[in-house]
Amino acid sequence: MSDFVPETEENEEEPMNVDLEPKIAQKAGKEPVVVDQSFSRRFINNKWYGKYGEEGELLEHIKEDWIPVAEDEQEFLSQLWFEQEEQERNAHKHYDWDEEKKEWVPKTNKTEEVNEDFIAEYQANYGVQYDDIYKKMDEELQEKAAKALKEEEDKKEKKRKKKQKLHTEEAKNEGWVDFGDKVHAVYVSNLPLDITDEEFQEFMSKCGVIQPDIRTNKPKCKLYRNEEGDLKGDGRCCYIKKESIELACNILDGSLLKNKEVKVEEAHFELKGDFDPSKKRRKLTAAQKKRYMEQQNKLFEWTPDKPRNYRPKSDCTVIVKNLFTLEMMSKNAALMLDLKEEMTQSCQKYGTVKKVVVYDNHPDGVVSVTFPTTEESDMAVKYLNGRVVDGRKLTAELWDGKTKYKIQETEEDEERRRKEFEKFIEGGGNPDDRNEEEEEDDEDDDDDEE
């Protein structure tokens, strides 16, 4: 019989003193229950219950008698019985009851390893106090939170001072930064006073590629001038690569430029006067920085030499002239669309037509036709050059890649073209056709008069 008695919580009533001696209980309509010393008992839900072995029927102690439990409560009480039995089994697994100390102690013959599971089980069953631990953890968390809050406040205060642009030594140090390795520049002195910017750039470019300005794309090579605009005899040059600084100091320092021995040294930047935040340039965006780096990288890219039979991309475009006149274009508002469609269909016999552009304002009647390859454009030039269309002899040649044929029309031309197009829309057809119809009507009127 198990002699384990679970501990009682503070809000739990003490188990009532009952006489657990074996007795015979009898329930109406049932056989009497005989209880002997092999009977196990447990205190569940402020009541004593018992049963024989594992498969025995649960009995409830009522008024010094053991009465079988009702059938509707059997399943629920059996579950509670099983849980308490499991708890007893785990409690007796690693400990023995010490009568002298009146407490449970680990078994002396225990061979199992003392691990984290063992310690956790011991702490869970025998009331380890966590109040001090939790208190210490709370204090650490509060200390960390206070420290983070202070750092955040210091950062905000620092930003606030920077925005206010305080004229203090601290503000000066924050407003100006050391360029370090960001700028690769040399300072050149003892320059001739009649030197030009182009000559100075040519002289400094001997030792490296001069860095272009990210905003103006001009070389960052400057000659210093006084208030009257006259040269002072010194200047500065910025290179893209850091190695160019050492190269310029070794090669150009002491060299003659217009019979003057120039001095070249690494440039050092320092603040002169008070810091003025308004002169500080706005920061570049990520897209501007990316585009600037791509431009710099292209300067150092290696490209193979062009083959002998290389032909530029502009050779794929054919320029056809004398295809129309400005008078024809002004009389027929739909002529530009018609010409574009006719040229597309006509040139498809020479290859794939990618694009056709009609320059309706050009006095030479120019139309450009673009092909994917130069073989197709060569064939188009061969068959279109010298061809006669409506009494006009066409000329066809490959585009040189430089000449611009688009002409910006004046406000008068634009107004005239708009009116002609409105007449075309109102008449529902070609203005020339309408004029012909008017002439025919006039002739009919003359015949009627005769």
Percent of the chain surpassing pLDDT 70: 72
Looking at residue 179, its pLDDT comes to: 54
Q: What is the pLDDT of residue 7?
A: 47
Q: What's the rounded mean pLDDT across residues 387-405?
A: 91
Q: H or E element: which one contains 161?
A: helix 131-164
Q: Torsion angle, CA of 383/389/391/393, rounded to 10 degrees? A: -40
Mean pLDDT for the stretch of residues 181-198: 88
* Cα of 276 vs its chain's centroid, Å: 34
pLDDT bracket for residue 50 (50, 70, 90): confident
Task: List the beta bridge partners of residue 212.
Answer: 219
Chain segment 250-279, per-residue pLDDT in tens: 999 999 998 899 999 998 877 666 666 677
pLDDT of residue 13: 45
Among 71-75, 105-109, 170-174, name the most confident range.
71-75
What residue segments make up the domains of the chain, in order of their start? Answer: 24-92, 129-162, 165-303, 313-411
Separation between Cα atoms, residue 84 and residue 52, nearest integer Å: 16
Q: Is the pLDDT of residue 410 over 60?
A: yes
**CA 70 to CA 428: how far, in whole Å?**
104
On the question of pLDDT at 436 being above 70, the answer is: no
**Phi, psi dihedrals of residue 265, rounded to the nearest 5°:** -145, 165
Q: What is the DSSP pairing of strand 33-34 with strand 388-389?
A: unpaired
The more confidently predicted of residues 105 and 179 is 105
Q: Is pTM, for the whole model, over 0.75?
A: no
Domain 165-303, architecture per CATH: 2-Layer Sandwich (3.30)
SS3 of 265-318: the string is EECCCCCCCCCCHHHCCCCCCHHHHHHHHHHHHHHCCCCCCCCCCCCCHHHHEE
Q: What's the mean pLDDT in 101-125?
A: 65
Residue with tokens 């340039």: 281
DSSP single-letter state for residue 207: G
Least confident of 34-43, 121-130, 218-227: 121-130
Rg value, the chain, Cα: 52
Range 344-364 burial, b when 16+ CB lie within 10 A, else e: eebbeebbebeebebbbbbee
The token duo for 148 is 């983070």
Nearest to 369 by CA among 380, 385, 382: 380
Residues 309-333 have pLDDT tens digits of: 889 999 999 999 999 988 888 778 7
Helix (H, G, I), strand (E, B) or coil at 249: helix
DSSP state of 257: S
**H helix or E strand, kind and range, residue 389:** strand 388-389
Query: For residue 49, what are its two tokens?
Result: 């219950």
Task: Evaluate whether 165-303 and 313-411 have a shared fold.
Answer: yes
- pLDDT averaged over the chain? 77
Are the beta carbons of 210 and 244 closer than 8 angstroms?
no
CA distances from 164 to 45, 154, 161, 408 (A): 73, 15, 5, 51
Which residue did the predictor score with more confidence, 304 or 389? 389
For the segment 13-32, what is each residue's pLDDT rounded down to a tens digit? 444 444 444 444 444 444 55
Helices 116-125, 71-91: crossing angle, 10 deg rounding:
120
Confidence of residue 300 (pLDDT cuts 50, 70, 90): confident
3-class secondary structure, 180 = coil
**Most confident range, picked from 138-147, 279-288, 339-348, 426-435:** 339-348
Q: Please, are residues 337 and 357 in contact by the beta-carbon 8 Å criterion?
A: no
Q: What is the mean pLDDT of residues 427-438?
A: 49
- Say how far apart CA 262 and CA 253 lie, in whole Å: 6
- How far lies 270's CA from each of 180, 227, 273, 349, in Å? 12, 21, 10, 70
Contact between residue 172 and residue 275 where contact means Cβ atoms under 8 Å apart? yes
- Do residues 196 and 287 touch, judged by C-beta distance below 8 A? no
The topology (CATH level 3) of 313-411 is: Alpha-Beta Plaits (3.30.70)
CB 381 within 8 A of CB 315: no
CA 59 centroid distance within chain = 72
Residue closest to 56 by CA, chosen among 74, 73, 43:
74
Q: How many CB atoms lie within 10 A of CB 408?
A: 7
